[in-house]
Amino acid sequence: MLTVDDLTVAYGQSEVLHGLSLSAAKAEIVAVMGRNGMGKTTLMKSLIGILPARGGRIRLGEAELVGTEPHQRVREGLAFVPQGRMIFPTLTVEENIRTGLVARGRRHIPDDIYSLFPVLHEMRRRRGGNLSGGQQQQLAIARALVAEPRVLLLDEPTEGIQPSIIKDMARSLREIRDMMNLTILVSEQVLSFALDVADRFLVIENGRLVHEDRRADVNEARISAYLSV
Ligand SMILES: Nc1ncnc2c1ncn2[C@@H]1O[C@H](COP(=O)(O)OP(=O)(O)OP(=O)(O)O)[C@@H](O)[C@H]1O
């Protein structure tokens, strides 16, 4: 579904991703693990098109995305939940979700979004900024889902979320994947969350993928060693 070949990304003279290749199959959940500063956010931003690729290819199904604008990528079926969630704090929950509908030219929020996240229905008239971190994360995911993506990119979704909520988040992402046949690429540093949510684990170190495991035979100790300083 998503195929990345030899992706190179740089900030000015400083190359941060050095020829990275990965793929995620339909309805697969892939976790990209790595410490701070290893290139996870850079990868996510280049996939959605906020950062240009210096070289390489990014394909969604048959469509080549390198060189296209973020809104075109969203129309092709990519959605992005950024690190820190970036919801609109002064807009209501409902207005926040509506901003995601623009991509498909729709006006009505589908009922299944509120069935997935009942708390957002309860709070639909509240301002986004008044929600808890976990509720804001649900809002950011809901906003992404109403664009009807085929591939959802999530950048460090557990950041700033209470440990008790993190388990629920993993369960709910797997439910969403099952319901919508959605491919999910999630960057993470929290190993327990990645183990709960992902089918496959990649480790990024200094802009290169250095390790890969499948869920069935995951080497927790090895990944954990990569994540500790
Ligand atoms: N705007 C920028 N200009 C120059 N260098 C940058 C910029 N943003 C990030 N970098 C550098 O790129 C490298 C990768 O950063 P990136 O934010 O992708 O890492 P990360 O794995 O997402 O870390 P974090 O968990 O802190 O978000 C780091 O060395 C960082 O200093």
Q: Which residue among 7, 8, 42 has the greatest number of ligand 1 atoms within 8 angstroms of its CB, and so is best to mutate?
A: 42
Please identify, by atom number, the ligand 1 atom nearest to the C-alpha of residue 189. Answer: 25
Separation CA 189–CA 203 (nearest Å): 10
Q: 35-39: which pairs have CB atoms within 8 A and are 24 or more residues apart?
A: 35/189, 35/205, 35/226, 35/227, 35/229, 36/189, 38/204, 38/205, 38/206, 38/207, 39/9, 39/204, 39/206, 39/207
Cα-to-centroid distance, 179 and ligand 1 (Å): 34
Cα-to-centroid distance, 149 and ligand 1 (Å): 26
Report DSSP letters for 154-193, one per residue. EE-TTTT--HHHHHHHHHHHHHHHHHHT-EEEEEES-HHH
Residues 105-160 pLDDT 10s: 888 888 889 999 999 999 999 999 999 999 999 999 999 999 999 999 999 999 98
Cα-to-centroid distance, 39 and ligand 1 (Å): 6
Which residue's alpha carbon is nearest to atom 28 within ligand 1? Answer: 37
Mean pLDDT to the nearest integer, 20-25: 97
Q: Give CA 13 to chain center in angstroms.
A: 27
The response to whether residue 82 sits with its C-beta less than 6 Å from ligand 1 reads no
Q: Identify the weakest region by mean pLDDT among 77-86, 105-114, 180-189.
A: 105-114
Cα-to-centroid distance, 30 and ligand 1 (Å): 21
Mean pLDDT to the nearest integer, 67-86: 94
DSSP state of 32: E
The response to whether residue 16 sits with its C-beta less than 6 Å from ligand 1 reads yes
Domain ranges of the chain: 2-86+149-227
The CATH architecture annotation of domain 2-86+149-227 reads: 3-Layer(aba) Sandwich (3.40)
Task: Give the global pTM.
Answer: 0.94
> Residue 85: pLDDT above 90?
no
